[in-house]
Structure 1
Amino acid sequence: MNTQPIVLLVDDDADLRDIYTLVLEDLGCTVATARDGQEALEQALARRPDLIITDVCMPRVNGLELCYRLRANERLRDIPLIIHSSEHALIPPRGEVFLHKDGDVSRFTAQVALILGGGRDGPTFASVA
C-alpha cells in the first residue's frame, strides 16, 4: 500500500510541471501530472488524488472550469485544491486556496504541507516551512 500522498499537478508549461514535480517529490509525494483541465479530470477520476494543484490559463479546460467541474462531481468534490497562477486579480471559486506563482517555493511547500498534514494515510509534513 502506497502511503505517500498523491498530488495531481496541472499546468500547460512542461518546465514548471518538471520543477514542481521535483519539489513535491522532495516532500514525499507521488506526483501525477496533466497538461490541462481535461486531462486533470481524467487523472482525478482514475487516481482520486489527495490534492490537486492547478494553473488557471490552460488550453481546452482552464483551471477555474476544472475547479467547478471537480466540485460538481460527487466522487471528486472533497479533494483539496490549490490554484497556483500568475494571475493577480483572481478570486478563487468556493474558497479554494490561491497561491501566486511567483517562484516562492517555501510558501508553496508550506501550503502543500498544511493541506496534506496527515491526509489519507500520508506522512505529516509539519516540519516543512
Structure 2
Amino acid sequence: MGLDTADERLPYQQIADTLREEIRSGALRPGDRLPTVVAIGDRFGVAKMTAEKALKALKDEGLVISWQGRGTFVREPGDQVPDRVDQTSAALVDDVERLKRQFGRLEGLLMNLYSRVGEEYPHERPQDEPKRRSA
C-alpha cells in the first residue's frame, strides 16, 4: 500500500492519519506494538525518516509511546506520562538551578579578581547604562 500522490497532505501526515485510524478503529488496540519504522517505510514506500516523523506525530498526540529497544506501542486511553518523565524533568530543573548558582559564585570570584588587579570586569555594565537586548 503506497501513498496517495494526489493527496495534498505530506507523506508523514498520510501515514500518521492511516495509523491513527487503525488505532481508532480497533485494528491496533492498546498495548499492541506498531510496526517498526523500516516496516512502515516498506508498507508506504517512504524513507525511514518519513516513517519516524509519522510516529513522532502520534507520540506528540499521546496515542503511542516508545520504549528504547522494545518498540512503539498503542497507549491505553487516559494513560499518564510515565513518572520517570516527571522525575527527569524535575531533576533537570534542579540541575539548571544548581548551575545558575555555581555560575553566580564563579562570576563573583572573577569580579573580585578583576577588582584586585585594578581592572574592570569585562561583562559588568555601568549602572547608568540601560540593559541591551540581544536581537
TM-score range, shorter chain: under 0.3
Structure whose alpha-carbon radius of gyration is higher: 2
**Structure 1 or 2: more strand by fraction:** 1
Q: TM-score, normalised by structure 1?
A: 0.28
Q: TM-score, normalised by structure 2?
A: 0.27
Bigger RCO of structures 1 and 2 (CA < 8 A, at least 6 apart): 1
**Structure 1 or 2: more helix by fraction:** 2
